[in-house]
Amino acid sequence: MTTTLAAGPAPVVAASDTGTDPRRRRARLRERTAQWLFLVPAIGYVLVFFGYPIVKNLVMGSQDYTVRTFVSGEAPWVGLDNYVEVVSSSLFRTTVLNTALFTIGSIVGQFVIGLLFALFFQRRFPLGNVLRSLLLLPWLLPMIAGTAVWKWILDQDGGILNEALGTVGIAPVHWLTSPDVALVAVIMVNVWVGIPFNMTLLYSGLQNIPDELYEAGALDGATGGKAFRHITWPNLRPVVSVVLVLGVIYTLKVLDIILGLTGGGPANATQTLATDSYRRSFQEFSFGTGAAVSNILIVVSLVFAVVYLRANRRAVDE
């Protein structure tokens, strides 16, 4: 025996539930329009002040763009010739090596000293906040002023550093005029500039580690170095990734410190990709090859920017 169910009347669906209500559609359209209007200034700002310079630089890298271009308005298209000239020059290998050494030396120095300061200031003691604020001074000083002070400190004749070394019997060092030492001096100054950035971010990361973890670890015997290894470092690792990648991106672009101290010399001992781009563009007025070097630097920075975005996303997820 079979039972047949009688089909009832079809359910009535209101027009407003299906999104076909004209009033609701107009309200939704107005809402989306308002959202885009709020985004327009930001999009315009990015396109004008970030997008246009990058696109212009990419185009200049494939043009014979010189001083004559400002008069005639002509910049013949040369394709990859500028890149070939840059890469095949005898200076390119030196600039790449100096950029790598400058970046690695600066990042290692900034991070290690910044981490030590962050761990030191994690402990509470009188005037701790004042001392921590004083370490931010390199950030507050105009870079050219800080560079001028360091140029006086590192002066081989009357510099305070050589005077201090002389008191312990060490001969004066030609910090800024010797090809063997100049890069070390420039790295030293850049480390001084980067310590506040590293210390601030790492200190903030340390503040987010719950005290309960250290208390529980102490019960299991994890104190001192063991606490750092098993509690501090694993919890600080997401911040460390962001600090290192941002530090690399910033250091790759450093120009003012090197120009202020050595100008890329002596004998190109401190010439990096950034200073080489400046030299070609504003000293030799070969804007095409200067833009080509800048584009190479942009690609390198872009790689680390992608790494930063992935590290930042991982830090948010964790």
In a domain, 115, yes or no: yes
In a domain, 30, yes or no: no
In a domain, 50, yes or no: no
Domain count, the chain: 1
Report pLDDT digits (tens) over 192-236.
999 999 999 999 999 989 988 888 888 888 888 888 988 899 888
In a domain, 4, yes or no: no
The answer, yes or no, to whether residue 311 has pLDDT greater than 80, is no
Q: Which domain holds residue 123?
A: 80-314
The answer, yes or no, to whether residue 282 has pLDDT greater than 80, is yes
Q: How many CA atoms lie within 13 A of 7 on its CB side?
A: 2
In a domain, 39, yes or no: no
CATH label of the domain that carries residue 278: 1.10.3720.10
In whole angstroms, how far apart are CA 82 and each of 61, 79, 125, 187, 302? 7, 8, 58, 30, 21
pLDDT of residue 276: 94
Where b means 16+ CB within 10 Å and e means fewer, 213-238 reads: beeebeeeebeeeebeeebbeebbeb
Structure token pair of residue 23: 């009033």
In a domain, 63, yes or no: no
Q: Which of 217-226, 241-250, 289-298 has the highest mean pLDDT?
A: 289-298
